[in-house]
Amino acid sequence: MPMRSQRLGARMHDAWMLSIAPALPARLPWPLAYRCYRLIARDRSLFPDAANAALIAPDYVPIDDVDAFVHKVRTFQLLDHADLVRSRRQPVDWWPDDIEVEGAWPRTGPFVVVSFHYGTGLWLLRRLRHDGFHSKLVSARFEREALASRPVLVRYGERRLAEVERICGEPIAYRPGARAALLGALQRGMPIIGVMDMPPRLAPNGQRPVEFLGQRASLPDGVLTLAAEMRVPIVPCWVELDFASGRRRVVIAEARPAEPIDDALAEIARLLDRLLRKEPAGWTFWREWRAWIDDAAPLYAPRSPDAASLSR
């Protein structure tokens, strides 16, 4: 009986975090809704996994007030879930007044959008659709089996993936084996979206050494290789949040060539570094960071003379 009560309590807590708290203020005018979300985010029981993982950040970036920082982490998480509630109620090309846009997509031809696990990324997808583009997102597979003990979270994940596909107008391309689907999308003139900050654990193929946050790390080169092969530009894009007002901004950077790939990856790493130093609470992958550095270490190991001769 105590075990059953614990399971029920955990499911109720997941329902509060993932469904009830995000939905309660969702129909209010945005300035009032945002104030409600900031208030709800003071609940220290919200998003404990993200809050605990975020405590890694002070080891790598300056954090003056840890409590305020974790409050921001919970706010980002809550807004990301609230965005799903808002999005599912609207047509695919809907765009709210509280989301600003800086920059524009290339006018002609396919392109590769490169982004990160940073901010509230649903608006990036919605901006593409609002501007008339169907698009294809590449993603790691949703680990349903690993979450079998959290059915509320599984249902949330399924709803989110379904909404992503509704907005994009295309099925998600899942790793491994995403290359053919992504190549086909580019050949049809469609933009593809690659989330670049994928650690070796989640994207083991094509990792190349890059440095950010003062550490020897890595980023995968898959979508850049496709862009180079198809001779299409890459377009960095991300979403920023003004904590004072609650307004967000989709930033679409200037398109650039994917080649040389090492140079493009280094520039993407510098961009990610700037974003994480400016607002470290926006990154959802702090939980991966320490293992990421360890997993990238072999990329920096000196190659033996025998290995070098075999590669020629």
Give the mean pLDDT per block of 10 residues along the chain (312 residues): 75 93 96 97 94 94 95 97 97 96 93 96 97 94 77 92 97 89 95 96 93 97 96 97 96 97 97 97 96 96 60 42
Q: Give the span between the Cα atoms of 57 and 218, in whole angstroms.
A: 18
Domain membership flag for residue 310: no
> Coil, strand or helix: which one is 251?
strand
Per DSSP (E only), the strands in the chain are 99-102, 112-115, 136-139, 173-174, 192-195, 207-212, 215-220, 234-241, 248-252
Q: Are 278 and 239 in contact (CB under 8 A)?
A: no
Q: Is 268 helix (H, G, I), strand (E, B) or coil?
A: helix
The length of the chain, given as a count of residues = 312
Answer for the pair 283, 55: CB distance below 8 angstroms, yes or no.
Answer: no
pLDDT at 306: 56
Give the tokens for residue 228. 């180079």
Question: What whole-number distance in Å separates Cα of residue 281 and Cα of residue 269?
Answer: 18
Question: Does residue 312 belong to any structural domain of this protein?
Answer: no
pLDDT of residue 304: 60
Q: Give the structural domain span for 235.
A: 2-300
Residue 311 lies in a domain: no
Number of separate domains in the chain: 1
Q: What is the pTM of this model?
A: 0.92
Tell which phi-psi region holds residue 177, choosing left (phi > 0), alpha (psi between -120 and 50) or beta. left
- Where helices occur in 41-150 by DSSP H, the ranges are 48-54, 66-88, 122-130
From residue 52, alpha-carbon distances to 49, 221, 289, 310 in Å are: 5, 30, 13, 45
Asked if 95 contacts 76 with a C-beta cutoff of 8 angstroms, the reply is: no
Q: Is residue 6 part of a domain?
A: yes
Residues 6+ apart with CB under 8 A from 158: 142
Residue 140: DSSP 8-state: P
Does residue 309 lie within any of the structural domains?
no
The whole-angstrom distance between residue 125's C-alpha and the CA centroid of its chain comes to 11
Please give the structure tokens belonging to residue 113. 């959008």
**Would 305 be classed as within a structural domain?**
no
Return the structure tokens found at 210.
């890059």
Give domain status of residue 307, yes or no.
no
How many CB atoms are closer than 10 A to CB 308?
10
Do 236 and 160 meet the contact criterion of CB atoms below 8 Å apart?
no
Q: Tell whether 259 is covered by a domain.
A: yes
